[in-house]
Amino acid sequence: CDAPVAMVTRTDDTKLNLIAKVGISRTSVLIKESFCVYAMETPDAVMVVPDATLDHRFSTNAMVISGPGYRFYAGSPLIDPEGAVIGTICVYDHVPKQLNQRQISSLQALSRQVIAILELKKVGEQLHNTSMTDALTGVNNRRAFDLKFEAEFARWQRTGQSFVLALIDIDHFKSFNDSYGHAAGDEALSQVAALFQRHSRNYDFFARYGGEEFVLILPGTDTASANKTLEKLRLVVANHEWLLRQLTVSIGLASADLFDDKKQLLEVADQMLYKAKTQGRNQTSVFATL
């Protein structure tokens, strides 16, 4: 369209976000100031405004009478596969002009290409989320933990900002499954996961490690603070009103600043979990050097 300003917009509550742009620095436009809101009302056509100063809808618009001083606008709606208008692809110019049919068709074709790209991105994000999420409990899965654990350990070695690793196991879960069945066991796993997710700090990382075992990474936390946090979480589970049988968890934790190898850190946290279980369960065991 040979215009100096072009953008792809996505609708928000009170504004249009500019997700791609050329010739403009701002990142959003208020809906009440936007030309695009009118283009979105005609989803089957490209809206062309040859001269905004002669159009009663825009002649007093702030983008026309001040600031950038736009005169020309053309916009094609972005329509998702469900038929919803989610934004526009549009161009502006500082001088009046017209578009020929070829240019109008090109703008419509571009809008379809933008939708295709956005849908591919959406599918990619969904696949990524699925690959990182435990299907039963909805929390992070083992793969997500492995990536996070490696990143946190590398950061600890690079910056000196340590973290605490905690392994969590549901006590007597096998007998619970044997007594009440796998469906009840699955529900118990989901409820324990939900309790930890709800009561953990928003910057901690919680994941299902496997079976009835979960893991929690507490960044920027020393052992004493982590122990207090985990004790609170343990009591949340112990004091929860369970329908079939009271459930508790055992927890083992170790701090990264005591280890040079992440495998050893994981092994020691597991040893602390084993210690908590052999010493009576429903408790937290903390690794500490003499």
Alpha carbon of residue 81 to chain centroid: 23
Pairing of strands 284-286, 249-255: parallel
Query: What are the C-alpha distances in Å from 246 to residues 84, 148, 181?
Result: 48, 32, 16
Q: Catalytic positions, please? A: 212
* Helix 142-159 and helix 262-278, axial crossing angle in degrees, nearest 10: 120
